[in-house]
């Protein structure tokens, strides 16, 4: 066996040992050595409830995209200058207005079911019921863009742009601390970070493996550090609300972070995986910047995503007001997320202060 092969074998054996669970008194697996466990996000999808043909929730049909809207606004039976057509339209893409566009109808989803989380701890008339029967679900993006092809479950873009190894900027890490049991625990803390390492995969690159390491960025990633208080009941973690800025990247280099007010997590936990919902009130201005910085109008046409029309729909359905001005600035939304267990490595020579003013521990899940 070569020296490199010996090192690889040793690493694989060590990784296997590191992810081995400990057991609770009742014999159920509860892998929380050091009362701390970390996960890296390996999938994130906009959580839109839909049917295969869309007739139930979108009886009027699916919305037009940029190319279709352009033809409506600038019909080919008339000659147009570049200034009064292409440049005018691109200006509207970047700086959309709330002025009604009679020529450009935007169909909203009429579904009564939606994925998401109750973000305000009450049941309102415009709230949804989720597929599991939970009421009070806040997810107004279901209504605003539920009939836009780009955000539906059949969209090519959902898979094409969900490659968490491709863009190092938006590696999202969560760390659970004060964890006595992954099945039932009345008081845990979830802290978000931006990671610095691409998630570990198997040889095919198709499956994310637990046991990798994630160094957290406490120098340029401080804006992404947030703490959420939570509890675990029957293996499901739920957190209280907190404002969260999520790193976003696309197009190979462009970055545009998005703020979520009153964000909450609901995750089913195991020692190797976590999956569930991240919900919050998405800042609509941030979404508009992110959508246009990371994807050109040409590329948005692949999913029939006409951002000026979507922007107006988001503002019509906005359900979060700026506490200082009272102006509606955000809309409730939800993401389906999947995460894989990692060892979280904090800076050693550069002690960082976390969101509550305390320095984090050296690593998640002791390697001893």
Q: How confident is the model at residue 200 (pLDDT cuts 50, 70, 90)?
A: very high
> What was the pLDDT predicted at 28?
55
Q: How confident is the model at residue 13 (pLDDT cuts 50, 70, 90)?
A: very low
Separation between Cα atoms, residue 190 and residue 91, nearest integer Å: 41
Q: How confident is the model at residue 364 (pLDDT cuts 50, 70, 90)?
A: very low
> What was the pLDDT predicted at 271?
95
Separation between Cα atoms, residue 214 and residue 110, nearest integer Å: 42
Contact criterion met (CB below 8 Å) for 36 and 365: yes
Q: Using the Cα atoms of residue 216, residue 219, residue 220 and residue 226 in order, give the sign of their dihedral.
A: positive
For 31, residues 6+ apart whose C-beta sits below 8 A from its C-beta are 19, 20, 21, 22, 37, 182, 271
Separation between Cα atoms, residue 70 and residue 16, nearest integer Å: 56
For 222, residues 6+ apart whose C-beta sits below 8 A from its C-beta are 352
Q: Residue range 184-194: average pLDDT?
A: 97
Alpha-helical regions (H) of 116-228 = 141-145, 156-160
> What was the pLDDT predicted at 254?
59
**Structure tokens belonging to residue 176:** 């659970």
Length of the chain: 368
**Portion of the chain with pLDDT greater than 90, in percent:** 69
116: exposed, middle or buried (Cβ count in 10 Å: 0-12, 13-18, 19+):
buried
**206-220 pLDDT, tens per residue?**
899 999 999 999 999
CA atoms within 13 A on the CB side of 193: 28
Q: How confident is the model at residue 163 (pLDDT cuts 50, 70, 90)?
A: low
Mean pLDDT of the chain: 85
Pairing of strands 328-345, 212-215: parallel
Specify the higher pLDDT residue, 269 or 46: 269
> What was the pLDDT predicted at 16?
35
Strand partners, 128: 137
CA atoms within 13 A on the CB side of 66: 22
Backbone angles phi, psi at 92, to 5 degrees: -65, -30
Separation between Cα atoms, residue 284 and residue 269, nearest integer Å: 31
For the stretch 136-145, what's the b/e string if a residue is b when 16 or more beta carbons lie within 10 angstroms of its beta carbon? bbbbbbbbbb
Rounded to two decimals, what is the model's pTM? 0.85
> What was the pLDDT predicted at 22?
45
> What was the pLDDT predicted at 154?
84
Contact criterion met (CB below 8 Å) for 189 and 228: yes
> What was the pLDDT predicted at 12?
39
205: left (phi over 0), alpha (psi -120 to 50) or beta: left
Specify the higher pLDDT residue, 341 or 352: 341
**111-154 pLDDT, tens per residue?**
999 999 999 999 998 999 999 999 999 999 999 999 999 999 88
Greatest Cα pair distance, the chain, in angstroms, is 78
Residue labelled with tokens 């198709």? 206
| Nearest alpha-carbon partner for 284 in 239, 325, 321, 236 | 321
């Amino acid at each position: 066996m070569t020296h490199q092969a010996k090192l690889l074998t040793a690493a694989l054996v060590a990784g296997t040992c590191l992810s081995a669970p400990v057991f609770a008194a009742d014999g159920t697996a509860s892998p929380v050595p050091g009362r701390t466990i970390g996960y890296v996000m390996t999938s994130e999808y906009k959580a839109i409830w839909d049917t295969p043909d869309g007739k139930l929730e979108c009886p009027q049909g699916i919305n037009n995209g940029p190319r279709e809207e352009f033809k409506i606004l600038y019909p080919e039976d008339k000659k147009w200058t570049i200034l009064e057509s292409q440049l005018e339209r691109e200006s509207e893409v970047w700086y959309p207005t709330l002025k009604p566009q009679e020529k450009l109808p935007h169909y909203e989803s009429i579904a009564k079911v939606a994925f998401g989380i109750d973000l305000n701890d009450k049941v309102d008339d415009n709230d949804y019921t989720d597929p599991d029967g939970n009421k009070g679900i806040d997810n107004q993006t279901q209504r605003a863009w539920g009939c836009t092809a780009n955000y539906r479950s059949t969209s090519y873009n959902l898979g094409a742009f969900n490659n968490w190894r491709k863009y190092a900027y938006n590696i999202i890490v969560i760390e659970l601390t004060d964890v006595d049991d992954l099945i039932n625990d009345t008081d845990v803390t979830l802290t978000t970070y931006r990671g610095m390492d691409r998630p570990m995969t198997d040889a095919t690159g198709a499956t994310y493996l637990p046991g990798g390491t994630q160094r957290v960025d406490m120098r340029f990633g401080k804006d992404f550090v947030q703490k959420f208080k939570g509890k675990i009941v029957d293996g499901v973690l739920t957190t209280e609300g907190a404002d969260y800025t999520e790193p976003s990247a696309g197009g190979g280099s462009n970055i545009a972070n998005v703020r979520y007010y009153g964000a909450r997590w609901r995750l089913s936990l195991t020692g190797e995986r976590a999956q569930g919902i991240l919900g919050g009130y998405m800042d609509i201005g941030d979404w508009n910047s992110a959508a246009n910085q990371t994807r050109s109008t040409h590329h948005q046409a692949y999913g029939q995503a006409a951002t000026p029309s979507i922007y107006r729909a988001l503002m019509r359905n906005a359900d979060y007001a700026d506490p200082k001005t009272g102006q509606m600035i955000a809309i409730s939304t939800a993401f389906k997320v999947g995460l894989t267990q990692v060892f979280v490595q904090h800076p050693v020579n550069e002690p960082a202060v976390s969101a509550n003013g305390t320095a984090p521990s050296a690593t998640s899940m002791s390697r001893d």
